[in-house]
Each structure stands twice: as C-alpha cells, then as structure tokens.
C-alpha cells in the first residue's frame, strides 16, 4: 500500500476516575479506507471514535490526523476537529436552526466562508442526498432518516479529510436505516476515509475494507473484512459474530 496514513491512533488509553474505558488502543487508517468497528455494547467503541477527533479527552496515547498530532484545547485543536466530519447516533442537528442554517453554521463561522458560498455548497450536497426541498424546514419536522442524512451533509459541508460515524442507524426506525446506509455506501465508494461504529453487518460486508473488533475497552482484533467474517482470530469475536449474525 502506498496510500498515506490519514488517521493514526497510537496506544490510546482513557479512564473516568478509577474506571479504565479504553486500554492501549492502536489503529491506523489509510486514505480512502473504510473501517468498521464492532463489538458488544459497553466495549468502548463510541468513546474510541470520540477520542479520535478530540471531543472526548484521553489521558495517554496519541492521535495523528494527516500527519498532525491532535490536541484538546485552543484554536489549533478546533481546526483539527473541523477537518474530521462526525455523525452522531442521535443526529444532533441544532433544533433552533433550519436545515440550511444547520449545514452552513460551521462553514461560515469556522472556515470563514461567505454565506453565498456556504449555501451554494449546502444546496449541492442536499441535492445529492435527495433532500433539496427541505432546506428551509426545522429538524423537528423531519423523519429520523432525513435528519441523519442532513447530519451527514452537515459534516460533508466542511470538506472533511475523514468521516467518523458513531452508530448512525441505531436510533432509527428499521424502515429508515436503508436510506442512511445508502448515503454512507455511496460516500465509501467515492473514496471517503471512514471509521464507522455500527451493528449493521450487511453494511460492513459491503463497504468495509477492514473490521475492528473491540471488547472491554481493548481492540481485540483487526482484520480484512472477508477473513474477519469467515474466520475471526479470537474466540470473543467468533462468539460476538455468531450472536449478531444469528438473527
């Protein structure tokens, strides 16, 4: 592989007081690669991705994005965070702003784009996810699937070098999961670097280059997707897969 390392996590550890939630987690993601993180609930998957863009602080280890080391405070840290798009389980659209205002907020205030520039870009992206007609409505008037697609657009409007997804379909009604996964699959095919925490193993098989299995705050194994599903190395991953794929 000659592609550059986009995200490099080195021996990341995090505790809340006595409780250690992440232990020596290391992961390197190359440009254009899609990595899916799976594991039982409470295994630290969400905390791990939130550490990657620094919205959760960690005590030990290092995260490097596109060759630059990540900090927590100050303008430089904020600039770094702005380069990584993040999609949350509960969408987290701003309820007091319209769809268009939601998408344009950070481009205008962080990237200092003009309103016209930001809106033009936002409309283009809205068009791509089939929600061009929703630009002036408020999030509460949209379905969960629509809100999550808007949230993806909001992240993409910052022209990120990579995207993090924290269980993007877990809060959705089953009939809406497909529309969100479709957008993510398209992104993956376009070559976006992505780290996705999800239980959607169908998506993982279709989109992921590599799988990461986490349990109890540690990365248990990392493997090529096909091999991971056919023959996981660890007993814990085998058990997890048998449970999750049984139904």
Q: Please state the closest distance from residue 98 (CB atom) to another protein, in A.
A: 10
Query: What string marks each residue from 120 to 149 as x (binds another protein by CB under 8 A) or -?
Result: ------------------x-x---------
Among 95, 116, 175, 247, contact with another protein (rule: CB under 8 A)? 95
- Segment contacting another protein (CB under 8 A): 29-37, 91-99, 203-211, 224-232? 91-99
Q: Is position 106 an interface residue for another protein (rule: CB under 8 A)? A: yes
Asked if residue 63 binds another protein (CB under 8 A), the reply is no
Minimum separation from the CB atom of position 117 to another protein (A): 17
Structure tokens at 70: 């990540």
Residue 142: φ, ψ to 5°: -110, 155
Burial class (CB in 10 A: 0-12, 13-18, 19+), 89: middle
- For another protein, which stretch binds (CB under 8 A), given 17-25, 47-55, 127-135, 229-237? 47-55
SS3 of residue 8 by DSSP: strand
Helix, strand or coil, per DSSP, at residue 118: helix
Residue 75 binds another protein, judged by CB under 8 A? yes
For 178-183, the CB contacts below 8 A with 24+ separation are 179/145, 179/149, 180/145, 180/148, 180/149, 180/152, 183/129, 183/149, 183/152
Residue 117 within binding range of another protein, rule CB under 8 A:
no
């Amino acid at each position: 592989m000659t592609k550059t390392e986009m995200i490099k996590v080195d021996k990341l550890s995090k505790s809340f007081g006595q409780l250690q939630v992440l232990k020596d987690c290391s992961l390197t993601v190359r440009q254009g690669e899609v990595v899916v993180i799976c594991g039982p609930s409470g295994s630290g998957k969400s905390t791990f991705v939130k550490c990657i863009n620094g919205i959760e602080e960690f005590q030990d280890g290092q995260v490097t994005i596109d060759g630059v080391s990540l900090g927590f405070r100050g303008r430089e840290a904020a600039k770094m965070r702005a380069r990584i798009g993040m999609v949350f389980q509960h969408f987290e659209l701003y309820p007091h702003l319209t769809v268009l205002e939601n998408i344009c907020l950070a481009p205008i205030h962080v990237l200092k784009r003009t309103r016209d520039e930001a809106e033009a870009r936002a409309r283009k992206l809205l068009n791509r996810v089939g929600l061009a007609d929703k630009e002036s409505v408020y999030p509460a008037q949209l379905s969960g699937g629509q809100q999550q697609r808007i949230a993806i657009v909001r992240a993409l409007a910052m022209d990120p070098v990579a995207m993090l997804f924290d269980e993007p379909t877990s809060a959705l009604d089953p009939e809406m999961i497909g529309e969100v996964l479709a957008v993510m699959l398209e992104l993956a095919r376009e070559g976006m670097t992505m780290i996705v925490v999800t239980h959607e193993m169908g998506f993982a098989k279709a989109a992921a280059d590599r799988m990461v299995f986490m349990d109890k705050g540690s990365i248990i194994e990392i493997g090529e997707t096909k091999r991971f599903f056919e023959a996981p190395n660890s007993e814990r991953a085998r058990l997890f897969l048998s449970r999750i794929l049984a139904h």
